[in-house]
Amino acid sequence: MFTDKKPEQKFDVRMIERYRARGLFDDKQWAEWLKSLSDASGNAETIPASAVMETPDSK
């Protein structure tokens, strides 16, 4: 199994597929990890599309 001290390293979204392929964790462990995360939706902010996209009118 995975021996790192920090579980957030084990479940790093950039490494998930590699670790799963190596058998370092399974779908059940992944589901448990996701359930353990706190809900941060209260920190979300709505951003208008015009703020991130260039439109023909903005040139």
The tally of domains found in the chain comes to 1
**Is residue 26 one of the residues assigned to a domain?**
yes
Task: With respect to residue 42, please indicate whether it lies within any of the assigned structural domains.
Answer: no
Residue 52 belongs to some domain of the structure: no
Instruction: Return d(Cα 46, Cα 40) in angstroms, integer.
Output: 14
Residue 33: closest CA among 47, 16, 17, 48: 16
Q: How many CB atoms lie within 10 A of CB 20?
A: 14
Indicate the pTM of the whole model: 0.53
pLDDT in tens, the chain (59 residues): 555 567 777 788 888 888 889 988 888 988 998 899 899 999 999 988 888 887 666 55
In a domain? residue 13: yes
The residue segments making up the domain with residue 14 are 9-37
